[in-house]
Every structure is written in structure tokens, then in C-alpha cells.
């Protein structure tokens, strides 16, 4: 497959989870938060690799600039 074709290919949930090195359930959460570019085809989620790469680059840039820091959940304090 040529480089151009590989950028336009559609990827499955499993492929994207492996590509991003995240659990499949984390990927589903990103989909439902409308955070990641995805579409349903025939009842299954599909992702265009070039759009994933662009999304990933944008997310990394935003976090590096500190515009949208990852939310940190504070652990509940235990009584002493």
C-alpha cells in the first residue's frame, strides 16, 4: 500500500487503540465525548488515519501550550 493510500485508509477500534497505545474502552470514551474524529459505518466505528494524526497533533500542541490542561482529579482526603 502506498504512503498516500495508508494515510486515507479507514481504521477499526482495535487498530486505533493499538496505534494510540490506549485501551479500547478509553477510545470509546473519547468517541462519546466527541473528542476524536470518528464515524459509524455499518454499525461499527471507523477512523481515517490522516484525521487521527491531525487530531493527535492538535491535542499535543494544546496541552503543550497549557490552554487545556488535562483535568486532575483530587483524591478524597482521608481523616487523620
Residue of 46, 13, 72, 59 lying closest to 37 (CA atoms): 46
Euclidean distance between CA atoms 10 and 38, whole angstroms: 10
Q: What is the pLDDT of residues 43-55, one digit of tens each?
A: 999 999 999 999 9
Q: What is the DSSP string of 61-72?
A: HHHHHTSSPPP-
- Region 3-21 average pLDDT: 86
Residue carrying the nine cell digits 497533533 = 57
The domains of the chain are located at 12-65
What pTM was estimated for this model as a whole?
0.70
- For helices 49-65 and 13-20, the axis angle rounded to 10 degrees is 40
Amino acid at each position: 500500500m502506498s504512503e498516500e493510500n495508508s494515510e486515507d485508509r479507514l481504521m477499526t477500534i482495535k487498530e486505533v487503540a493499538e496505534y494510540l497505545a490506549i485501551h479500547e474502552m478509553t477510545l470509546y470514551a473519547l468517541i462519546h465525548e466527541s473528542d476524536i474524529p470518528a464515524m459509524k459505518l455499518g454499525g461499527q466505528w471507523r477512523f481515517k488515519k490522516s484525521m487521527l494524526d491531525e487530531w493527535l497533533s492538535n491535542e499535543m500542541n494544546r496541552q503543550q501550550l497549557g490552554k487545556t490542561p488535562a483535568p486532575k482529579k483530587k483524591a478524597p482526603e482521608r481523616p487523620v
